[in-house]
């Protein structure tokens, strides 16, 4: 703690390194709390309002502690931001040198073995693929092999899947490229680093692996973990600990089985072809029946729907399930057998055995396909187990739901409550846990996040934003747009046009559903401002275009409510169509509300309301990112001022925030500061 004042105080290291540095007492208060938690090995929850500078507030005491700390972020974007901006800054300030490493999941790194195979195949083509050549050339000069470096390759490009690998098919020391492997290098560097930057998914995967396989690990042993964007932790844990089967997973399994067997020089072929085709046919048949049942039983037009308790007891669906179950086990057994190397000197071709001398490079040449087959067997059995979990619905602690999208059908068994899992894998796992975000409280209390994540014994601190919201922002809430009546979409679009005229565009339009987004996009098709709509391009590309396009208007749903930083004049207006309540018809939300009711609680007050208040804070937080920012937040949902529960929303927004239901008053406020 003695190192903190020198770094963070006026005239300290940060002030000397950053032009126009602004001392923030909130940042210093958070740093002291984090230092104390690390020293006392006490769990800590910190809400740090927008503009606090929470990243530096926890990095400085973490590095000053001399302990190994893992920082887990909700997004790869924040992970990269810390590595590219904050770490170099602190290296130039702190007297004690430190190593920091970004560690991501295996699929984020190029695989040298797979790239060599790609290059070899490409060289035999009459017209080699220049994109493959460029990717191979990049990997030859890259120090990290990180997917984030390949900005010119589209996020959804199939080529990356051919250039990377998965945990199931990594060869480890058997791989001829092992010593130069990007994943191996990253993990070795992490073993030597004081600061390791990961994301929530990878951190939970490491804790689950340690619990299930003593001695196994992904991350190095560490003394503390800091969860940044901790408001996402419940959703990530719910996803991580769920059982899931989809048409997409089965399609990938079939494709990978075909590729793995085709790459094996000694493959006999016939039985395996039959096994693959059987899995494919059985999967198509089962999901066609399930999709038809979901369409009949759907209580809502789209999105998640609960799986009926007896869904797989229906004779036709049960038969289809058993056929797929058997087909997956047959494929796993055959792949497992093929993954075993033949005895030395024994060759298997066309079903007959012949003696031959072993080739020197045979193990290296066959290791990749055989490892892929061993991984394939594990994946097939995992899918079989997950399908049984979903079909049998025996776990009362889970909710079972399905989703029929245009891209496929998804079946999931999600844990209703992840608090016990978080306590077991994180809070009592050894490393001191610190959770921070700009949005962890609802109406000034941590009660919701404490209950959802099992944080009963954690210390807490809430530091307000240093911004002057009384001067910098205006909240507009019209009382004449009731959201539940017919015609709301048309009236909301008309009001949005009036707001855009005040701000001259420069707006985020945030919607609580994809349906509302589609309707608004159609009604606002003709705007006198450049219009960007979610889905027209990748999220990052849309945000980049917004930043550099004068007067742009961006329309988006949940993925644009958080994690986007657009300081300055480019963003002056945020319009939120409705209060962001999770739909009570969503199976997971309904199950959590029912669980709360069964325990004698009040589901709306304890589940829906605080979750919506935190989500609104996230949307509101897009507007003011610097002390010189100024703008309007419009919530086109009058319930925030007409219903008693609206007080929870208003109490969750910054203190001193002026608000009005008069568009003319908002216009005058805006012009007065222009």
Query: Three-state SS string across 217-272, please?
Result: CCCCCCCEEEECCHHHHHHHHHHHCCEEEEHHHHHHHHHHHHHHHHCCCCCCCHHH
Q: Rounded to whole angstroms, how far apart are CA atoms 264 and 369?
A: 6
Judged by DSSP in three states, 543 sits in helix
Beta partners for residue 408, in sequence order: 405
Provide the whole-model pTM. 0.88
Q: Rounded to whole angstroms, how far apart are CA atoms 241 and 212?
A: 13
The DSSP output letter for 178 is: G
Least confident among 8-12, 199-203, 423-427, 531-535: 8-12
Residue 407 dihedral angles phi and psi, to the nearest 5°:
-90, -5
Map tokens 């047959």 to a residue.
330
Instruction: Name the strand (E) or helix (H) holding 63.
Output: helix 54-64
Q: Rounded to whole angstroms, how far apart are CA atoms 369 and 335?
A: 10
Alpha-helix residue ranges (DSSP H) falling in 439-586: 447-453, 469-472, 488-503, 514-523, 539-548
Is residue 361 over pLDDT 60? no
Is residue 333 over pLDDT 70? yes
Q: How many CB atoms lie within 10 A of CB 445?
A: 16
Return mean pLDDT, the chain: 88
Report helix angle 270-297 to 315-339, nearest 10.
150
**pLDDT single digits (tens) 532-555:** 999 888 787 889 899 999 999 999
**pLDDT single digits (tens) 463-508:** 999 999 999 999 999 999 877 777 899 999 999 999 999 999 999 9
Give counts: helices (H), strands (E), the chain: 28, 20
**pLDDT single digits (tens) 72-121:** 998 877 888 899 899 999 998 887 889 999 999 999 999 998 899 889 88
**Percent of the chain beyond pLDDT 70?**
92
**pLDDT single digits (tens) 201-212:** 999 999 988 887
Instruction: Tell me if 512 sits within 8 A of 557, measured CB to CB.
Output: yes
Instruction: Tell me if 568 sits within 8 A of 626, measured CB to CB.
Output: yes
Among 542, 541, 476, 535, CA closest to 508: 542
Map tokens 């130039």 to a residue.
92
Q: Rounded to whole angstroms, how far apart are CA atoms 181 and 139?
A: 11
Instruction: Tell me if 190 sits within 8 A of 222, measured CB to CB.
Output: no
Alpha-helix residue ranges (DSSP H) falling in 504-538: 514-523
Q: Rounded to whole angstroms, how far apart are CA atoms 54 and 57?
A: 5
Of 2.170.120.12, 3.40.50.720, 3.40.50.300, 3.40.718.10, which CATH number belongs to 4-99+193-238+418-463?
3.40.50.300
Beta partners for residue 445, in sequence order: 442
CATH topology of domain 242-411: Fumarase C; Chain B, domain 1 (1.10.275)
Which of 247-251, 258-262, 330-334, 496-500 is most confident? 496-500
Q: Which two tokens stand for residue 634?
A: 């419009």
Which of 164-173, 348-357, 534-543, 568-577 is most confident? 568-577
Q: Rounded to whole angstroms, how far apart are CA atoms 626 and 414?
A: 39
Q: Which two tokens stand for residue 157?
A: 């490009």
Instruction: Name the strand (E) or helix (H) holding 399.
Output: strand 398-405
Beta strands at 459-463 and 507-510: parallel, antiparallel or unpaired: unpaired
Residue 73 dihedral angles phi and psi, to the nearest 5°:
-110, 160
Of 3.40.50.720, 1.10.132.50, 3.40.50.300, 3.30.70.20, which CATH number belongs to 469-673?
3.40.50.300
User: What is the location of CATH 1.10.275 in the chain?
Assistant: 242-411
Half-sphere exposure (CA, 13 Å, Cβ side) for 440?
31
User: What is the location of CATH 3.40.50.300 in the chain?
Assistant: 4-99+193-238+418-463, 469-673
Q: Rounded to whole angstroms, how far apart are CA atoms 612 and 639?
A: 13
């Amino acid at each position: 703690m003695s190192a903190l004042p020198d770094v963070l105080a006026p005239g300290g290291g940060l002030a000397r390194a950053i032009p126009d540095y602004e001392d923030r007492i909130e940042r210093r208060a958070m740093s002291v709390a984090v230092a104390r938690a690390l020293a006392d090995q006490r769990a800590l929850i910190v809400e740090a309002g927008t503009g606090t500078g929470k990243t530096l507030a926890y990095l400085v005491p973490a590095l000053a502690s001399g302990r190994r700390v893992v920082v887990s972020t909700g997004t790869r974007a924040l992970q990269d931001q810390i590595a590219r901006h904050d770490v170099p800054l602190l290296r130039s300030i702190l007297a004690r040198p430190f190593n920091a490493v970004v560690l991501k999941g295996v699929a984020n790194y190029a695989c040298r073995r797979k790239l060599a195979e790609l290059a070899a195949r490409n060289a035999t083509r009459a017209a080699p693929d220049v994109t493959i050549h460029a990717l191979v050339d990049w990997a030859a000069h890259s120090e990290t092999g990180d997917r984030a470096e390949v900005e010119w390759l589209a996020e959804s490009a199939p080529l990356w899947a051919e250039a990377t690998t998965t945990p199931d098919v990594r060869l480890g020391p058997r791989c001829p490229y092992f010593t130069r492997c990007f994943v191996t290098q990253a993990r070795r560097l992490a073993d030597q680093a004081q600061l390791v930057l990961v994301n929530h998914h990878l951190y939970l995967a490491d804790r689950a692996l340690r619990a299930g396989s003593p001695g196994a690990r992904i991350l190095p042993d560490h003394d503390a973990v800091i969860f940044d964007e901790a408001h996402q932790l419940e959703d990530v844990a719910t996803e991580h600990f769920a059982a899931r089967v989809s048409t997409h997973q089965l399609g990938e399994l079939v494709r990978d089985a075909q590729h793995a067997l085709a790459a094996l020089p000694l493959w006999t072929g016939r039985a395996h072809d039959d096994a693959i085709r059987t899995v494919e046919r059985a999967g198509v048949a089962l999901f066609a029946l399930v999709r038809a049942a979901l369409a009949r039983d759907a209580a809502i037009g789209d999105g998640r729907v609960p799986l009926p308790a007896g869904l797989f007891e229906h004779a036709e669906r049960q038969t289809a399930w058993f056929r797929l179950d058997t087909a997956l086990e047959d494929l796993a057994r055959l792949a497992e057998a093929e993954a075993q190397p033949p005895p030395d000197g024994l060759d298997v071709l066309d079903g007959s055995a012949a003696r031959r001398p072993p080739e020197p490079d045979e193990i290296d040449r066959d290791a990749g396909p055989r490892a892929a087959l061993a991984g394939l067997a594990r994946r097939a059995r995992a899918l079989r187990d997950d399908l049984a979990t979903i079909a049998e619905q025996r776990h009362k602690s889970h909710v079972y739901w399905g989703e029929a999208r245009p891209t496929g059908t998804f079946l999931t068994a999600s844990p209703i409550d992840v608090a016990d899992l978080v306590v077991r894998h994180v809070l009592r796992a050894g490393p001191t846990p610190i959770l921070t975000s700009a949005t962890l409280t609802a109406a000034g209390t941590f009660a919701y996040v404490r209950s959802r994540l099992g944080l009963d014994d954690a210390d807490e601190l809430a530091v307000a934003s240093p911004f002057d919201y009384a001067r910098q922002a205006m909240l507009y809430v019209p009382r004449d747009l009731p959201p539940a009546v017919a015609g709301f979409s048309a009236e909301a679009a008309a009001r949005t046009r009036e707001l855009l005229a005040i701000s001259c565009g420069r707006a985020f339009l945030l919607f609580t559903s994809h349906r509302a987004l589609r309707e608004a996009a159609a009604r606002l098709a003709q705007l006198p401002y450049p219009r960007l709509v979610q889905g027209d391009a990748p999220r990052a590309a849309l945000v980049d275009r917004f930043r550099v396009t004068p007067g742009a208007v961006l329309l988006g749903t949940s993925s644009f409510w958080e994690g986007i930083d657009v300081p300055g004049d480019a963003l002056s207006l945020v319009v939120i169509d409705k209060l962001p309540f999770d739909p009570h018809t969503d199976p997971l939300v309904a199950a959590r509300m029912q669980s709360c009711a069964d325990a004698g609680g009040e589901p709306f007050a304890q589940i829906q309301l605080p979750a919506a208040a935190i989500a609104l804070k996230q949307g509101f937080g897009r507007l003011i990112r610097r002390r010189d920012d100024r703008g309007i937040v419009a919530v086109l949902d009058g319930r925030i001022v007409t219903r008693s529960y609206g007080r929870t929303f208003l109490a969750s927004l910054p203190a001193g925030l002026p608000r009005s239901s008069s568009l003319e008053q908002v216009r005058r406020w805006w012009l007065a500061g222009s």
